[in-house]
Amino acid sequence: MTLFKSILPVDERGFYGHFGGAYIPEVLHGNIKRLREAFYSYAADPEFNAEFDRLMRDYVGRPSPLFRADNLSELYGTNIYLKREDLNHTGAHKINNAIGSALLARRMGKHRIIAETGAGQHGVATATVCALLGLECVVYMGALDVERQQPNVQRMKMLGARVEPVYSGNRTLKDATNEAIRDWCNNPDSFYIIGSTVGPHPYPEMVAHFQSVISREMREQLLRHTGNELPDCVIACVGGGSNAAGAFYHFINEPSVRLIAAEAAGKGVDTDMTAATIHAGREGIIHGSRTLVMQTADGQIVEPYSISAGLDYPGIGPLHAWLHESGRTEVIAVTDSEALSAAMTITRREGIIPALESAHALAVLDRVKFAPDATVVVNVSGRGDKDLHTYLNSNCQ
Ligand SMILES: *Cc1c(COP(=O)(O)O)cnc(C)c1O
């Protein structure tokens, strides 16, 4: 049998340099081992991949367009292309991974799916795919997020998922993830769909693989637009790192392509209201992997803050910790107000209302100057409908 071979620099224990691995409770060892075996065999299975490709095309609406943003290009004096993940079914890149993972769950004979969610995008994507494939779905969500993301809670309920509010910690994403892992320990027959490139091996690798469709399409589309598959720069926002992993994937081994990750500075990296894990974190273990974590001197996890619920996470995927440490990516911390201003710029100049998360990537254009003949791709990870309330309350008009 052929096994899937990663193009990422990951070893068989799931380490990118010294980041990654699988730090899990004993009860999950069997589960993680079976998941690893299933992923590495199905990811190389033509039938599995044909089904994934069919759903990407006919259900999600892929390929998502690569749009030359003429007005932004003129404003910034360079050539800006937007990868439109906001146009996917359910409105963000999360659906790519939800479909890949749910197909894998079905092949493994699983009937019950567990997920965690922050802003609700991953919860909605998972509930959507579960409705499609006839799987039971339980979504853990911090009680604070349940309050501030009501439209997504209602969508999940309409899709037939059970939404479980989590009241521990600061009642956001980290706490929801803890609870989802606890459920999995109690129900090892269930399948856990993680929403980002985080968690124990093989999750970071698996999620990056399902999201890599983004950069695979970019290469084909750039060739058509510019005559060259390679851009000069790709920019993406990083929460746990899945849209950035997908946007960077097929360029990681192309040294001429500059990769810029935008993390959420919140009120500023030097304040205690930030989610800029790469700037403010230290090495530690969170949710099953060794990575950079925002923590106190004695190792207590610091509650993160960002205006964007999807970037409000105290860790970062091990792939990104390594890409940063090895110098392959540049990481720029973008504040709430810089993101709001960038969201307004693209809305008024291109008629595209981006997710607040994606606005962090767009804000890099205000910070970095590119050559007039450069090709710059910004990954627009999602649409902004869920954020209208925040935009309108921050005098963004
Ligand atoms: C969830 C989300 C993110 C952040 O998650 P990553 O795993 O870092 O991509 C970014 N953008 C949107 C639209 C999201 O829904």
* 289 and 238 in a common domain: yes
User: At 396, is the pLDDT very low, low, confident or very high (cuts 50, 70, 90)?
Assistant: low
Q: Does the Cβ of 319 fall within 6 Å of ligand 1? A: no
Q: Does the Cβ of 31 fall within 6 Å of ligand 1? A: no
Q: Ligand 1 centre and the CA of 276: distance in Å?
A: 14
* 229 and 167 in a common domain: no
262 falls within a domain: yes
User: At 87, is the pLDDT very low, low, confident or very high (cuts 50, 70, 90)?
Assistant: very high
317 falls within a domain: yes
367 falls within a domain: yes
Q: Closest residue (by CA) to atom 1 of ligand 1?
A: 310
Residue 244 alpha carbon, nearest atom of ligand 1: 9
C-alpha triplet 158, 161, 165: angle, nearest 5°: 105
* 103 and 70 in a common domain: no
| pLDDT in the model for residue 63 | 98
276 falls within a domain: yes
- 41 pLDDT exceeds 90? yes
Q: Ligand 1 centre and the CA of 397: distance in Å?
A: 24
User: At 37, is the pLDDT very low, low, confident or very high (cuts 50, 70, 90)?
Assistant: very high
Q: Closest residue (by CA) to atom 15 of ligand 1?
A: 121
* 292 and 146 in a common domain: no
Q: Does the Cβ of 240 fall within 6 Å of ligand 1? A: yes
* 376 and 318 in a common domain: yes
Tens digits of per-residue pLDDT, 337-385?
A: 999 999 999 999 999 999 999 999 999 999 999 999 999 999 999 999 9
CATH code assigned at 129: 3.40.50.1100
- 10 pLDDT exceeds 80? yes
Catalytic residues: 94, 116, 381
Q: Closest residue (by CA) to atom 13 of ligand 1?
A: 382
Q: Closest residue (by CA) to atom 4 of ligand 1?
A: 239
* 334 and 275 in a common domain: yes
19 falls within a domain: no
Q: What is the mean pLDDT of residues 112-133?
A: 97
| pLDDT in the model for residue 309 | 87
Q: Ligand 1 centre and the CA of 2: distance in Å?
A: 32
User: At 47, is the pLDDT very low, low, confident or very high (cuts 50, 70, 90)?
Assistant: very high
* 224 and 185 in a common domain: no
| pLDDT in the model for residue 1 | 73
Q: Does the Cβ of 382 fall within 6 Å of ligand 1? A: yes
Backbone phi, then psi, for 378, in 5-degree steps?
Answer: -110, 130
* 85 and 99 in a common domain: no
* 169 and 217 in a common domain: no
Q: Does the Cβ of 386 fall within 6 Å of ligand 1? A: no
- Provide the domain count of the chain: 2
* Cα separation, 27 vs 186, whole angstroms: 9
Q: Ligand 1 centre and the CA of 291: distance in Å?
A: 18
* 99 and 82 in a common domain: no
Q: Ligand 1 centre and the CA of 1: distance in Å?
A: 34
Tens digits of per-residue pLDDT, 145-203?
A: 999 889 999 999 999 999 999 999 989 899 999 999 999 999 999 999 999 999 999 99
Q: Ligand 1 centre and the CA of 133: distance in Å?
A: 24
Residue 94 alpha carbon, nearest atom of ligand 1: 15
Residue after which a domain boundary falls, among 168, 190, 207: 207
Q: Does the Cβ of 121 fall within 6 Å of ligand 1? A: yes
Q: Does the Cβ of 120 fall within 6 Å of ligand 1? A: no
| pLDDT in the model for residue 170 | 86
| DSSP strand pairing (282-286 vs 191-193) | unpaired
| pLDDT in the model for residue 237 | 98
309, 387, 358: which is closest to 122 by C-alpha? 309
Q: Does the Cβ of 354 fall within 6 Å of ligand 1? A: no
Domain that holds residue 266: 63-91+212-393
139 falls within a domain: yes
Q: Does the Cβ of 241 fall within 6 Å of ligand 1? A: yes
10 falls within a domain: no
In a mutational test of the pocket of ligand 1, which residue from 242, 287, 362 has the highest number of ligand atoms less than 8 Å from its CB? 242
- 59 pLDDT exceeds 70? yes
In a mutational test of the pocket of ligand 1, which residue from 64, 346, 357 has the highest number of ligand atoms less than 8 Å from its CB? 357
| pLDDT in the model for residue 318 | 98
* 188 and 151 in a common domain: yes
Q: Does the Cβ of 97 fall within 6 Å of ligand 1? A: no
Percent of the chain at pLDDT exceeding 70: 99
* 84 and 31 in a common domain: no
Instruction: Tell me the average pLDDT of the chain.
Output: 96
* Cα separation, 363 vs 305, whole angstroms: 18
Q: Ligand 1 centre and the CA of 302: distance in Å?
A: 20
Residue after which a domain boundary falls, among 207, 230, 253: 207
pTM (2 decimals)? 0.97
347 falls within a domain: yes
- 397 pLDDT exceeds 60? no
Residue 355 alpha carbon, nearest atom of ligand 1: 13
Residue after which a domain boundary falls, among 192, 207, 222: 207
